[in-house]
Structure 1
Amino acid sequence: MASHSLNTLHTVFDYIWDRDPANDDFVNNLVVLGNTYAPSTAPKDDKPSDLKFLFQRLKQEPPTPESCWPIDFLQDVYTRIWLTYRTGFPIIDRAEDGPSPLSFGSLIRGTIDISTVTKGFTTDAGWGCMIRTSQSLLANSLLNLKLGRDWRYAKSQDSPQHEQIVSWFVDIPSAPFSIHNFVEQGTLCSNKKPGEWFGPSAAARSIQVLCEENYKDAGIEVYVTSSGDLYEDELSKLATKNGEFRPVLILAGIRLGVKNVNPLYWDFLKKTLSWRQSVGIAGGRPSSSHYFFGYQGDYLFYLDPHLPQKALLVVSESDPSDSQTFVEVESHLNLESVHTNKIRKLHLDQMDPSMLIGLLVEDQDSFDDLKRQVNAHDANSRFFNFFDSRPLMISKDSGVVDESEFVDLGVMSMNEYDAIEDGDESCIGTLRKERAFSHPVMVAMESEEPEELEAAPINFDKEASILENDKANDTFEEIHPSETESRLDADEPVVVSHDDSSDPV
């Protein structure tokens, strides 16, 4: 308890003084999206106290050796594309029944444009952090795909392809992956009004549609799962077109606990960031979203989008009217504003359990390697699972339904259960009880208001069943809260399907 309180206190001090966390781990390797770096060598002199570090910060003294990180690690971090809050971009019209651009937070930040406050949004400060971290996840996916994982950004010799990728995310409506287009797809696909916070599911749907619309440029397909289940027939169909393998970005919008990430999943969560297919995680901090790209020990490294910067603009050579409403416009991309060498880290016990995990499969070898990595991990403590195909699920009232309407409390896979021989009565009873806790259960929420969800009763559809080979082969039973809590205390894995209303923003 004491160490957790100390971590929280340090977080507050880091925020107030914008302190770069000291490099105080000289044992564990540093991992960045599949790349591993050796830790720094411990300094010979004693580590300075936090108070000494604070005085050095206030007096603008040079950092001590403890705050220095390995140079190859820093170069990798600096190469990651970092998208943040922006101000002064072309207006995003307000919805009649949507949030107002005028808020207490915008007044405090000084980001509000009084001349347009009744019309719409010219900044996403205060509500766009999940969009920005999702943009970062997509931008770094494209960076790895187009330039390769070993490419490094340098101010003096930039790559035209890097500049082109960044140009796809500028803050104008015509840019393929601009905040304007994310908001538009959020409205169309997820009923999110301008100014409303996105969750992992809304972000994933927006990325999926925008990549489909801009496939000619991006060259990437998108596969979305809300449970961590990966179906090989669907992935193969998506990836194989005209006899060629097309790169696929897998987006998993999942929840790994109730209030915090279940420690049972810590090892596997870190392992996903060590795979060469990893393109990071968006979300994962209460009331805010960050872009997580690596780890050391039990601390995750992240890029923070909560820094309002001037809108990222570029004048189109074919249509300069895109920026004609601005008195001052940039005639080039401010590439330096999408890179940072500031190191930020968060302990896993402070991480919000709702997140969007990204994996990029570039070719068949990459796909086979991902499957091998997933299957090599203990099935009881992982949240990704490969299946041959998706089973249909039916309900007495609704007929065949989509998996997003279910709550997945996975312990044992469907295939493991169904593989048991019919005559083996010795284990059927036990497994049937496990299955009741481990498989999708259709629920109905009596309230859709976020503030009422926590207290709203859940009605279980006991008639729901799994449909395989045109035959309903099992039904589900309700698990009461007392039983659920006892299983949680026993450290049994819990994966709850994503619900935007409880996502980090």
Structure 2
Amino acid sequence: MEFLQRVSQQLFELENTDTVHDLVILGKTYAAMEKDGSESEAGLTTSASPGVFGQLFNRDKGWNPEFLERVQELVHFTYRTKFEPIPKDPAGPSPMNFGMLFRENPLNSIESAINHPDCFCSDIGWGCMIRTGQALLGNALQQLQKLHTKGDSLSHQQTQQVIGWFEDRYSAPFSLHNFVKQGLKLSHKSPGEWFGPSATSRSIQSLVLDFPECGISQCVISTDSADVYEEDLEPIFAKDPDSVVLLLLGVKLGLDNVNARYWNDVRQILNSHQSVGIAGGRPSSSLYFFGYQDEYLFYLDPHTSQLDLASLSSSQEKYNSVHSHRFNKIHFSELDPSMLIGVLLRGSEGWKTWKQDVADSQIIHVLPSRPQDYFLDDDGVISELEDETDQVGARDSTLDGEYVDVAPMCQQAGLSNNDDEFQDVQCKNQKILIFGDHDSTAPDTEVERVLVGQETVPLVISQEPKTAITPVL
């Protein structure tokens, strides 16, 4: 079996053709190498066997052996099959979905349909964002374990402990099962539904809070921007300077693709020692990005299936199941702009260092406090909305950070919900004052904020006459 795994892995390994630009993995830099057959130093070859297999295992891939060794240290989570059943939600998708049945091994599908017709026994087709979220969290926990051991490698016991926390069963604190459980509770995501970055970050935050033994003191999330507020973080480190904080920042860096002006900022994020990677990056799909070389990002792909991790008998099998040399790369121009950024702040000194590192970032902004919200009352007087409970819907009317959401304000000003002219436009660095009656019964609207740089957003103008609203700047 091990031999077949090695053959399969070698057949699909990525070749490095760039011998100029450095290789970067989560804050560590490795020199590119000339092709000289040195892969044997990384343990990728067998003994000097002749013939086709000798050629197979000694193929020159051009990678720095130290780089490959670091890749294999990363935790990599993929689809799993035949795990502990997850009951379907009455309002959610069915495990007997035609598409899901044919994505999985037919024998596994038939077995699950017979034994557990109303349960999910695999996450194939819907669990990739959860798996990359697990990778963010898992690699953060590995970094934390290394900090405690004051070394670059973990003991066998430490490695197995981290792996055990992610096994696919309800008793494991960071299992797919518990991600789904929290997703239903916090984000209304049923089993079998694809998670987005927001739902994933909410699940991680809740699971970390429920399991302090993992060593992370707090998990602070932002579901619609990379704005970080000192008023949220300073009290944590003031109370305990050794606190460990996991930041999860949901961003959208453009409209259809990542705006080129943010490419270098993404590199800087992955080149930070506090980085634990980025999840997302593909439409209705998710990858785990851990490094880069020039204009290419390296990633681990969760879209391969393996047997339930908890069912594996030996510790070595479990280790091999979540660690691999196999990775791939993608050009910045091919990325989907929706991403979840992970940052691990280790103590108050780490917090101070990270703030300096991102001072010039166009993506991450560290601000003293959230901007205050304003609303124009009937008498033409601007009133501060200090108490959100006094203004139903105020939370969704003005988004925190540098952006203001126009669409819900239009609804609250008494406009029809069918106004096609007003799409979800985000106006940066402006205070929007709305004239008219405030309708507190207007439905809440969830809008995803977009960093668009210098691009403009086209409006679709309907043929019916509309009432224009002019923002006062």
TM-score (norm 1): 0.70
What is the CA–CA distance in structure 2 between the aligned matches of 1:473 and 1:98, rounded to whole Å? 40
Q: 1:161 aligns with which of 158, 163, 173?
A: 158
2:470 matched residue in structure 1:
none
2:229 corresponds to: 231
Q: Using a 3 Å threshold, how does the CA distance of structure 1 residues 71 and 208 change in structure 2: closer, same or farther?
A: same
Distance of 2:272 and 2:123 partners within structure 1:
32
Structure 1 residues 354 and 18: CA distance shift in structure 2, 3 A = farther
Deviations 1:301-356 (A, max 9, x none): 11111111110117xxxxxxxxxxxxxx7365712100000131111111110010
Query: In the alignment, what sits opposite 2:407?
Result: 443
Partner residue in 1 for 2:129? 130
Q: Quick one: distance in 1 between partners of 2:290 and 2:428?
A: 39
The root-mean-square deviation of aligned C-alpha atoms, in Å, is 3.5
Distance in 1 (CA, whole Å) between partners of 2:172 and 2:194 is 21
1:290 matched to 2:254? The reply is: no
Native 8 Å contact 1:445 1:459 kept in 2? no
Deviation at 1:106, TM superposition (A): 2.8
Q: 1:53-452 residue pairs with structure 2 within 5 A?
A: 61-62=55-56, 66-102=60-96, 103-110=98-105, 111-112=108-109, 113-148=112-147, 151-152=152-153, 158-225=155-222, 226-241=224-239, 243-313=240-310, 330=313, 332=315, 334-377=318-361, 382-394=362-374, 399=391, 439-444=403-408
Q: Does 1:31 align with 2:24?
A: yes
**Contact 2:17–2:62 under 8 Å retained in 1:** no
Give a deviation string over 1:403-423, Cα, whole Å, max 9, x none.
666678xxxx86xxxxxxxxx
* TM-superposed deviation, 1:119: 1.2
1:117 Cα deviation after fit: 4.9
Q: How far apart are residue 456 of structure 1 and its match? A: 9.1
Q: Which amino acid aligns with 2:346?
A: E
Cα gap change, 1:133 to 1:301, in 2 (>3 Å)? same
Structure 1 residues 18 and 285: alpha-carbon distance in aligned structure 2, compared to 1, 3 A threshold:
farther
Q: What CA distance in whole angstroms lies between the structure 1 residues aligned with 2:235 and 2:350? A: 16
Inter-CA distance 239–404: structure 2 relative to 1 (3 Å threshold): farther
Q: Deviations over 1:190-214 (max 9, x none)?
A: 0000000000000000000000111
The 2-side partners of 1:461 and 1:355 are apart by 19
Distance 1:216 1:394, change over 3 A: farther
Corresponding residue SS for 1:25: coil
Select the structure with the greater relative contact order (CA < 8 A; seq sep ≥ 6).
Answer: 1
Structure 1 residue 107, shift from structure 2 partner = 2.2
In structure 2, what is the Cα distance between the partners aligned to 1:355 and 1:465? Answer: 20
Aligned-pair CA distance for 1:146: 1.2
Offset at 1:147? 1.7
**Structure 2 counterpart of 1:432:** none
In structure 2, what residue type is equivalent to 1:179? Answer: L
Q: Are 1:475 and 2:433 matched, yes or no?
A: yes
1:276 maps to amino acid = H
Aligned to 2:454: 492
Contact 2:216 2:245 in 1 (8 A): no
| 1:286 CA drift (Å) | 2.1
Q: Secondary structure at the match of 1:86?
A: strand
* Counterpart AA for 1:492: Q
Paired amino acid for 1:119 = D
The answer to whether the Cα contact below 8 Å between 1:445 and 1:458 also exists between their aligned partners in 2 is no
Corresponding residue SS for 1:245: coil
Instruction: Answer yes or no: is the 8 Å Cα contact 2:398–2:404 preserved in 1.
Output: yes
Distance 1:476 1:396, change over 3 A: closer
More deviation in 211-220 or 32-41? 211-220
Q: What secondary structure does 1:210 align onto?
A: helix
Indicate the SS of the match to 1:334: helix
Unaligned runs of 5+ in 2: 1-7, 38-51, 378-387, 411-417, 436-450, 458-473
2:382 match: none
- CA gap of 1:406–1:296, structure 2 versus 1, over 3 A, is farther
Q: Which amino acid aligns with 2:99?
A: F
Deviates more, 1:396-405 or 1:26-35: 396-405
Q: Kindly tell me: are residues 396 and 97 of structure 1, through their superposed partners in 2, closer, same or farther at Cα, counting changes over 3 Å?
A: farther
Matches of 1:465 and 1:24 in 2, distance apart?
41
Distance verdict in 2 for CA 1:74–1:387, change over 3 Å: same
TM-superposition CA deviations, 1:218-277 (whole Å, max 9, x none): 333111112111101101223443x44310011001111111111110000111000101
Deviation digits for residues 69-109 of structure 1, max 9, x if unmatched? Answer: 11110111000001111111111000112111123243243
Query: Are the counterparts in 2 of residues 31 and 295 from structure 1 also a CA contact under 8 Å?
Result: yes
Aligned amino acid, residue 454 of structure 2:
E
Q: Distance in 1 between matches of 2:354 and 2:137?
A: 19
AA at the equivalent of 2:369:
S
The CA distance in 2 between the partners of 1:494 and 1:236, in whole Å, is 37
Measured in 1, the distance between the counterparts of 2:275 and 2:456 equals 23
Range moving further from structure 2, 197-206 or 107-116: 107-116
Q: CA deviation at 1:19?
A: 3.0
TM-score by length of 2: 0.74
1:41 alignment counterpart: 34
Query: Which letter does structure 1 place at the counterpart of 2:313?
Result: E
Which ranges in structure 1 are unaligned for 5 or more consecutive residues?
1-14, 45-58, 315-328, 415-438, 447-454, 467-471, 478-486, 496-505
Distance in 2 (CA, whole Å) between partners of 1:392 and 1:91 is 46
Deviations 1:165-212 (A, max 9, x none): 111111110111011100000001000000000000000000000001
Percent identity, please: 37
